[in-house]
Structures are given as structure tokens and as C-alpha cells.
Structure 1
Amino acid sequence: MEWIFRWLRSYLTCRLKGGDMERFFNLCRYQGIECWDMSLDEGVCRCCMYLDDFWKIRPFVRKTRVRVRIEKRCGLAFFMGFLKHRKGLWIGMAGCIVMLCFLSAHIWKLEFYGNSYYTDERLTKYLDTAEGIGFGIWKSKVDGALLEENLRLTFPDISWVSVRMEGTSLIVSMEEMVKYDAAGKKQTLPRYICASQDGEIVSMVTRSGVPKVTVGNTIKKGELLIDGVMEILDESLTVAESIPVGADGDIWAKVTENYSKTYPAGLESRNYGRAAWKFTFSIGSRSISFGKNPYEDGETVYDHITRVYDWWPGIHIQTDAFRPYTNVPSWETLSEIKGEAEKELSDIIHEFEEKGVQILENNVKILMYEDRVEAVGDFVLIKPVGEGTDIPPEDTQIHGIGETDEYNGNND
């Protein structure tokens, strides 16, 4: 903060040379003249001092024969002198302040909080048409208490409303009444949570319903985990009433998921053997050949490459190359397929992580064969296994859990 006070007081950066500078600074210190940022370089001293102190050093300069030169002027006094002859800048600053004050005195934004039944568009239209409150209205024309009362009278479903202004925003906060329609309320159906796959329970949170398993139990697919029907017993410990409450909870289990996928090698490469050559020398209509095609019997597959070189007008040299080959799976292609398999496996792992599934073990291996690439193995995961259903499992139906006459609609 010290530099702010120095800037407000204004100071100079001076260059001192020659004379007795040590005596000069002693005289300044004796008179209480403050100097800072002092440096000495090849007999030249630089320092900073306040503007009002600068006028006091004249007698010291004469006594010590020190030559003083001003290098830099800083501070409010010099800044005001800079602005003194720039009327356009002053007018622009004044105009900005006036414009800022003018715009700050208006409402430029309407915000609504707590509304769900009444939309922002409907409330904005009401304020504009009925209350005359729109974008750009003066703040002084908005009566918050009157607006709150009118909103409660116009919209009877609003139980509480508050109107306040923050900056250039008019903020309307409200609470709407929740209507309860008993006649239209549907009967709650029992809902069961069953296991979606085999595993071992590691975590279980039951929010409603009756849990049928605990942490550490081994479960099978389709097994009932949380019962959505609560049984009330009488004094004789028999079921007096079954109340459907709906099952709700989070069940996490340690499961093993097998993974197997085959990627066939769709491309083949050619394994070439040693080439046989044939050379033909032609002059006009006459020609002579050296070598032959040893694969004319048709039992060997080969490539035939012919090239003709014009050595002189009428003189030609033709070369024929016969290269036998066999088709084999391309290892380069298999490498690309392996990369595709690794990428797909990485995507599956990333998908597990996005769903919050914890991967304990990744036992998937990628194997390369002559004609295919296989990704085989399994994952050991911790994942949610609860699956909600409105139909109880078969064993639950047999024992009659939750199937009372009251739930079935028979009140006799």
C-alpha cells in the first residue's frame, strides 16, 4: 500500500552526479527529506524523493556542488497536469459516469425462483401487462410490497412471495402450494427388488420395504432382495394385514462378468517366392527371348509383371517377371485388429468407470492366431444388482408373500 500513498503525494526519480554526494544525503537526512530506491552505477546515483521535498534541496545542491537532473515524474500532481489540457477526456469520463448512473437506475433483468406451475413467461407477461413492470423501467416506480400483495391475490396458488432488487435485476422468489387430490391418488402397488445377476452382496441400503438378504450373502439371479409388502402380525403372530409400501434401496454386489469376442482376419497377404525372369530383345519384326515361364502348368499361382523399354526407334527390350505366391493371414492386419480389440476393451472399461462400477480384477487377455484375434476372460466388478419389478418372484408367489385379500381388492 505504500506505493499508493507515494503516488498520491507525487514523487520524482532523480539522477545525481559529481560533487560530494555523501554530504548531500547527510544534509537531506538531517532535514528529514526521505530518499528511496537508491542505486550507484559508475559515479551516477539515482534515487526517488517526494515533489515537495525536491524544492528543499536547492541549498544542499549549492553546498555540495552536486548536479541533479529529473529523469521521471510520477504521481497525482503530474497526472492532473496531464489531464488539465485534455478536455475531451474529462468530458468522456463525465459522460461514462452519467451513463452508468442512468443505466443503474433501471431494471434490465427479471428473475423468478421457486415457481414450477407458473412459468417464467406467464409471470413476465403478467408483470408487463398488469403491473407495467418491464425491461428498462425505473427502479423508483417498482413498489415491492404492493407487487407482493398483487401477486398473492392474482395467483392464489402462491403461498409466499418476496420481491427484491439486486443491481439491475428484479428478483421474485415464491413458494407454491402443493395440492393433494385424494380422489385422484392411485393405489400404491407393491414393488419388489430382485437380483439382476449372481453375486455376493458387499453393500446394501434399504430405504423402504423389508430386506430379505444381508451383506455377505450369495445371491442368484431373480432372487428377492427387498420385499415391497410389509406384513403386520397380530397377537398370535399370524399375518393380520399386508401393506404395500414399495421397495426402494441400493444393493451393490461383487459379480463376475465373462467377456469373449472374436475378431476374424478379413484380409490376407501374399507370401512371394523367388521370381523367374524372361527377357525379349526385338528389332523391327524380329525378336529373340532368353528364359521362360516355369509356372505355365497352372498348378502355381503367380504374378506376371511386364515392362517394355524403348532403347532406340524400332529396338525394344521387354522384361517379364513371374513371381509365385501363397495367401497367408497378414500379421500387419492382425496387429491392426489387435489394436481394435484393445480399443474396444478400453471403451468398455471407461464405460464401467462412467457408471460408477468398481473394477476389482481385469482378467481379459487378447490372443492372436493365424486367422483371428480373440479377447477372452472375465471382469470382477462391484456394481448395483437391484432390479425393480411389480411382479414378485415365483418362490414368493408360492408362499403367498404379499398376496392378501386386502391387496387383491377383496375386503370381505
Structure 2
Amino acid sequence: MLVNIVRYAKGWVEFKATGKFPERMLNITSRFGINLWDAHPCDGGLNASMSISDYRKIRPIARKSKVKTRITQKHGLPFFAEKYKPRIGIPIGAAAGLMLLLILSNFVWSISVQGTKNVSDTKLLEILAESGVETGAYKDKLDVKKIERNALLKVDEIGWMSINITGSLVSVEVKEKAQKPQIDEILNPCNIKAKSDGVITKINAKNGETVVKIGSGVTKGDLLVSGTTQTKLETTRYVHAKAEVFADVNSAKELSIAKKYSYFSLTENKTDRRRLQFLWWDFPFSVSFNSYENSAYTHSSKNLCVNNVVLPLGIKTETDLEALKTEFVLNDEIAEKAFVNRLLLYEVFEKSESSVVGRNINISSDNENYYCTCDYVFNENIAETVDFSVTE
């Protein structure tokens, strides 16, 4: 391998020796200590190879020995440079490109994250960027161990992290902490109490002594199922009470809507501006002077990807979307429909575990707003676990 590199740097030729005694070429090279290789006979002569400097030395000597030599092929850097000598920009550009590549190899080109499940990659990359690990960062200034410790302190869900720098690529490997299982502390004695006022409609006691009956009215904090029971031997036993106690509960929901309001809607008009991004450099290559009175801004980036490695070369597209402002005035009918829809959302998302027994909607208004008060009756589980100490 090294010999081939040296030969390429010096330059070498393949030549053909002809004459009455072409084998004399072997004697001539041996006598003058010239390196000859790949020698083999051919029709009317001998083919061989040697360096260009040795060929220049041996040619006049061979001619005196009545051996003619003719170059058949030329190889090596000197011939390559001679070929492109009129195009001086090519070697200069190649040298400049090589120098630029060597300089840029000292910076981070791409960052990949592996091993995350519950932790957001975006959140982790933001934390690493605060410590200096980002595209375009100078590799020699990165204190990997310190950065790993800081990241572990800021993200409680991560139990182990390793930052590996390979060339200009940074790979971040993490292992998240095992989540602690939720343990039902059934050994602790507790009572079941009411978490709101209501009228009992159903009792499903699985453990403990029930102290209320269906149809009974209770207030918040009343005892429903006791964790203190009596055994057959008339001794006191403390248990972890467990029960579901359903009751009709009165509740009120208040809402308001402005009579006049404005909203923005996007039109089909938009303006795109594109920028070429490379590491920390940003070059605009499309310009637009269109502007809107009201607009929404979005941006997206597409980077070059080679062998699943995202390179720091890409195009960033910035888009301004025209937003049209619309003034709207509500009437009584629209306001009523809006209140009904919002109440349905309240029942579905905030009272999903309750069933509606009854509702009474009252709507009023003044000069600026509509107001809605809805009186509900929900049937829901009002049981609440309350631990107690046996020394109480």
C-alpha cells in the first residue's frame, strides 16, 4: 500500500522495449541499480514499468545498447497535475475544499437521541443546547461528563446517559428510570367519607361497616363506611374500608360570552421565503416584499440525510399566512346554542364519571355579555378514602 502511494506521488510509466536483444534492458537496469517491475515478454519486445525519473536516466543508455523504448501509459500525480495545469482553479478549489472540510470537522454536524420513551427528544435537545451541545458547537470545548451530569439533574426521568462524539456526529444514549408501581396500601386502616353533599342512591361496600342507608342525606365530611368493626368476640378490628357510594349531588356551572367579538381566519394568500442553512450560517436565496396587515408565521426545515444521518445542510422555509379579521355580533339564538355546546363539553370532559340526573339552564344578558347559569343534579360516587390512626 505504501509503495503504491510513493509510486503515485513520484509518477511512473509503462513502457515497451524493442530491438534485436530487448532482454538487455534487464541487464542495464540491474547494472545501474534501477528498480524495474512487472516485466514480461510481448510480441517483438519486453513490457515493464518504472518510475518516471528512472525512465529518463535509462533511456539514453538503452539507445546506445540498440534497445528502443516507448512509453505506453503514464500514471501518477505529476501527469495528473500536468493535464490540469491550464485549469488552475480545479486544484485550488480542491485544496480549499479539503482545508474547509478539515476545519469543519472540528464542529458538531448532527445530534441523534436514542433510548427515549417517555421523555421528549425535543426537551432533551433543548437542555443539551443550554450546555453547549448543538449543531455548530466546537467539539474540543464540550465537557461531556459535566454535560451528562447537568442533564441528569434537570431531567428526573432519566437514570443513565452517555454522550458519544464520533467524528462530527454526536449520539446521545439514555436509559429512563423504571417507574415505581402504584401500591394500594390496603393494610392502613381508613374510613370512607363524603366528599360532597348529596342524597344516597346506591351503596357498594366491599370492606368496612356501612353507617348510612339509601335515601339518607349527607354533607361533606360525613362518615359513610367505617374502618372500625366489631368481631364476634366483641373486640375491635381496624380495616381498610373500601366502597363506592353514589349520591345525587347538586352543582352549578356559570358561563359568559361577549355579545361582540372578533376572530381571525386564514386566507389562501401566503408568502414563502427560503433560506439555505449550513451549521450556524443562514443565507437567504429567495426574497419577497409582500406583507399583510395580520398574518400567521410558520417555518419548516428540510435537511440533507445520508445513511440515516441528518447533516447540517438544508433549506428553511418561512411562510407568512394572511389572516383576515372578522367582527361578529351574537343574537339570542346563537348565544343559547353556544352555551348548550359548552355545557355538553363540560359534562363530557369534566364530569365524565358522573351521570346527569337533571339540568336547568337560565340565560340572561346586559349590554356587553350573555350569561348562563346551569343548575345540575349529578349522580356520582362521593366516596373519599380518609386514613386514620388507631391511637385516635
TM-score by length of 1: 0.38
TM-score by length of 2: 0.40
Higher strand share: 2
* Greater C-alpha Rg: 1
